[in-house]
Amino acid sequence: MPAEIFTHEHRVTYADCTVGNHVYYGRYPDLLEAARGEFFRYLGKSFLEYQEEGVIFPVSEVHLKYFAFAEYDDELRIECRLTAIRGARLGFGYRITKGEGVRILEGETLHGCVEASGRATRLPPALKERLQPYLDSE
């Protein structure tokens, strides 16, 4: 059975863009962060709620591949799925499209699950269970 995909919509703001009216390449990690945050909220808890429980998910790696550019006022579709769940590590895969499926970006972020002290810890069992349907088995 294929993995489920969470989708977040974003309309490109003027602040996202360069003088040339395309999204600045450095803004894409922020868009992925927004999608990931909404994904966690959709699953039942925000990042802040996990932080208040003593668990955070810092980024350890980012891989992005750009295919086209987005411009001011474009409506973007940001797809988010899981690529890895291992012990204290999480991997997220992303695809950003606009219009009728124009591919803008594909990428992946890798995260640790750590206590507030910085010590690695396993994912909370309830979170791991809620994430499982989104795990990409490819």
The neighbour count for residue 14, using CB atoms within 10 Å, is: 8
Domains and CATH numbers, the chain: 11-134 (3.10.129.10)
Looking at residue 1, what is its pLDDT?
59
Residue 136: predicted pLDDT: 75
**Average confidence (pLDDT) per 10 residues, the chain, 138 residues:** 89 95 96 97 95 95 97 97 93 96 97 93 92 82
Predicted TM-score of the model (pTM): 0.92
Q: Taking a C-beta distance cutoff of 8 angstroms, is the pair 61, 123 a contact? A: no
Residue 108 pLDDT = 97
pLDDT at 2: 72
* Residue 138 to residue 132: CA distance in whole angstroms: 14
